[in-house]
């Protein structure tokens, strides 16, 4: 397995262009199943996750063509016919979000067989909200041997769906299914993330009738068919926030371009509270830190527009060197503090108790071998490595490749001493 090696101590100065949003791109790709016409997505990120979903869509009958257009990377998806309504375990297990092909398949063909993501039990996992929403729209759901069997031979019908808890995936899933359902659908307690607004904007361009996307109540009037479209993927707010934290961690001045500062308002507020200087620009933001030690600030993750759980690991790395003690409260996901133990290997002083972590800032971090446990944890370790004395090596970076495009290249362009160490494929790193 590949590793990433970082020699810490250098400041970051330069410009980083932000890629298209992974969490939006993969749902837009799934939405391409809703029409028999071509869907062209521009500003597309080139990531392991988009490649995984591309393979699954090809199995279902989609032609997937990647190219470099005048505005950067783009992907053309065309599904003139669904040749298979089966999404097998070997493909779905590679990326949880690929489960969202279920709704478009039912909406277009009236039936689908889709593996549960990772073969997981339903229980308290959020996927049960997806299934309840589809049932409310008239789908008959059965489960056997790790697969969801869904049928709606007479088509889906509009319904009022109130989610018992905010779920981005379930909101997106219900939205995609409802656009081809007969009649009116109302989604209540819907998630408000920018990626949902982006999905709705694309669907509206395709002919869907949607109001209220980006608010807790979304109204959908079903239509009989959707057309092809060209749509630009919104900038990745998590990548934007990650590089903003990296700049604050290392010091210096970094301009983030091709993005929108308002997407990370909650993070900007905390960075400024800690002592970083943030300047909003027409195409992004500039992050500056003159070398003065940052102050500890507390964090509580929350659904958008609150502080994103996907930026928690990065901010914890930042707070590991801040003056004072910061308290992190994780309200979205269980077991989202697995990176704390790896940060401690670099010298961070972190105590975890349930969904709360206390970070007491230390004077310095020391480079060491560490291991990524998930996508966001991996980049948090890279950020810590930017300032750790000596060399830090991060293993299991296949997690990183799922969500960050050309990370080493972008950081290197700003002066970071970072490189990828390629290892034999299929060989697990050991500590």
Residue among 320, 390, 302 nearest 358 (CA): 320
In the sheet where 217-221 sits, what is the strand order?
160-162, 184-188, 217-221, 209-211
Catalytic residue among 120, 192, 202, 414: 120
Radius of gyration of the chain measured on its C-alpha atoms: 22
Annotated binding site for UDP-N-acetyl-alpha-D-glucosamine: 96, 125-129, 310, 332
Written as six digits, the tokens of 347 are 């010298």
Residue 322 contacts residue 271 (beta carbons within 8 Å): no
Annotated binding site: 22-23, 96, 125-129, 310, 332
Give percent helix, percent strand, percent coil of the chain, each to the nearest 5: 35, 30, 35
- Alpha carbon distance 171, 157 (integer Å): 17
Written as six digits, the tokens of 73 are 């990377």
- Alpha carbon distance 215, 6 (integer Å): 41
Spatial neighbors of 118 by CB under 8 A, at least 6 apart, are 92, 93, 96
- Alpha carbon distance 248, 271 (integer Å): 8
- Alpha carbon distance 32, 39 (integer Å): 6
Residue located via tokens 């996992």? 125
**Exposure pattern of 250-272 as b/e (b: 16+ CB <10 Å)?**
bbbbbbbbbbbbebbebbbebbe
- Alpha carbon distance 168, 165 (integer Å): 10
Residue 118 gets which letter from DSSP?
G
Q: How many helices (H) and strands (E) does the chain have?
A: 14, 24
> Is residue 120 annotated as a catalytic residue, yes or no?
yes
Tell me the sheet residues that pair with 308.
none
- The three-class DSSP label of residue 162 is strand
Give the CA diameter of the chain.
Answer: 65
Return the active site residues.
Answer: 120
């Amino acid at each position: 397995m590949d590793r990433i090696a970082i020699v810490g101590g250098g400041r970051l100065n330069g410009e980083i262009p932000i890629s298209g949003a992974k969490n939006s791109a993969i749902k837009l790709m799934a939405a391409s199943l809703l029409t028999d016409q071509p869907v062209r997505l521009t500003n597309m990120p080139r990531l392991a996750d988009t490649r995984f979903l591309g393979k699954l869509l090809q199995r279902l009958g989609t032609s997937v063509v990647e190219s470099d257009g005048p505005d950067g990377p783009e992907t053309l998806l065309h599904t003139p016919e669904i040749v298979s309504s089966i999404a097998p375990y070997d493909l779905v297990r590679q990326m949880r979000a690929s489960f969202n092909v279920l709704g478009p398949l039912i909406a277009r063909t009236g039936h689908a067989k889709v593996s549960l993501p990772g073969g997981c039990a339903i229980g308290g996992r959020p996927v049960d909200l997806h299934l309840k929403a589809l049932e409310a729209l008239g789908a008959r759901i059965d489960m056997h041997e790790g697969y969801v069997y869904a049928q709606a031979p007479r088509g889906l019908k509009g319904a009022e769906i109130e989610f018992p808890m905010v779920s981005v995936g379930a909101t997106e899933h219900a939205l995609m299914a409802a656009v081809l359902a007969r009649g009116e659908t109302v989604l209540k307690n819907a998630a408000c993330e920018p990626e949902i607004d982006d999905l709705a904007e694309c669907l509206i361009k395709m002919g869907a009738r949607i109001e209220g996307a980006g608010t807790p109540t979304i109204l959908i009037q079903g239509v009989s068919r959707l057309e092809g479209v060209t749509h630009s993927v919104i900038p990745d707010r998590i990548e934007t926030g990650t590089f903003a934290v990296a700049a604050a961690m290392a010091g210096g001045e970094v301009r983030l371009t091709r993005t929108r500062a308002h997407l990370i308002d909650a993070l900007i507020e905390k960075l400024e509270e800690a002592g970083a200087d943030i300047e909003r620009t027409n195409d992004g933001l500039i992050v500056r830190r003159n070398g003065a030690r940052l102050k500890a600030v507390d964090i509580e993750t929350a659904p958008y527009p609150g502080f994103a759980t996907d930026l928690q690991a990065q901010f914890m790395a930042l707070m590991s060197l801040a003056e004072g003690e910061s308290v992190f409260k994780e309200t979205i996901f269980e077991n989202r503090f697995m990176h704390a133990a790896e940060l401690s290997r670099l010298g961070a002083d972190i105590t975890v108790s349930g969904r709360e972590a206390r970070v007491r800032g230390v004077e310095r971090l020391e480079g060491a071998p560490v291991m990524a446990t998930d996508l966001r944890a991996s980049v948090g370790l890279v950020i810590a490595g930017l300032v750790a004395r000596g060399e830090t090596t991060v293993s299991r970076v296949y997690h990183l490749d799922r969500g960050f495009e050309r990370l080493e290249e972008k950081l290197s362009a700003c002066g970071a001493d970072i490189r990828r160490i390629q290892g034999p494929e299929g060989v697990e790193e050991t500590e």
